[in-house]
A and B are shown apart, each in its own frame.
Chain A
Amino acid sequence: GDQVEQSPSALSLHEGTGSALRCNFTTTMRAVQWFQQNSRGSLINLFYLASGTKENGRLKSTFNSKESYSTLHIRDAQLEDSGTYFCAAEGSNYQLIWGSGTKLIIKP
């Protein structure tokens, strides 16, 4: 069935640096969402993309449906960015297909 491969599974960054997370899809997806799971367990919606690129503060996300991937870039990482990040792709039947998550640790 449809699958989402998310990488890396874990990432450690020093404050002020940046990196990128990636989700690859095995089939064409309608849209992708990126979430941050915070320390309280809530899933905070960061981006919803049907195509192209969106930017919000220090975060930028791209969704390339043709090449079946999406990325989430974090720059100038801050301590409060720590948490687990998930991508969730919207399949052809509008169901959410989740990536396995990236545990992000920001070090002072």
Chain B
Amino acid sequence: GALVYQYPRRTICKSGTSMRMECQAVGFQATSVAWYRQSPQKTFELIALSTVNSAIKYEQNFTQEKFPISHPNLSFSSMTVLNAYLEDRGLYLCGAGQSQNTLYFGAGTRLSVL
């Protein structure tokens, strides 16, 4: 079956430092990868959508300078949170699929910032 692994599951970083999280797709081709962050209201906001061999599309309020994403092949993507501060705390979710309309989700990476 289709599986999406995210790691680390939990991480803590010091304020002002950066933290990289990874997303691995198993059993299918992850042509599209969407990265989300869970808001205080528990809704997952879309950070960006990446399609292999295409430009990464960032949503309003999220930038490549803050959340650089790599999507080098059909099974892997990573996202870094640069200069993390308290407001960057939360659960980051990766959804991967053959299209943005058919995504399988990972368990999330929970980021704490000290």
Q: In the complex, which residue of chain A has the Cβ closest to the Cβ of B4? A: A98
A96 B46 Cβ-Cβ under 8 A? no
**The stretch of B13-21, B73-81, B101-109 that contacts the partner chain:** B101-109
Contact with B along A29-73 (1 / 0, CB 8 A): 000010101001111110010000000000000000000000000
Interface size class of B (residues with CB under 8 A): 20 to 34
Query: How would you classify the secondary structure of chain B's contact residues: helix, strand, loop or mixed?
Result: strand
A25 at the interface (CB under 8 A from B): no
Interface size class of A (residues with CB under 8 A): 20 to 34
Provide the residues of chain A in CB contact with B85, threshold 8 Å. none
B76 CB to closest chain A CB (Å) equals 19
Q: Which residues of A contact B (CB under 8 A)?
A: 33, 35, 37, 40-45, 48, 84, 86, 88, 95-98, 100-101, 103
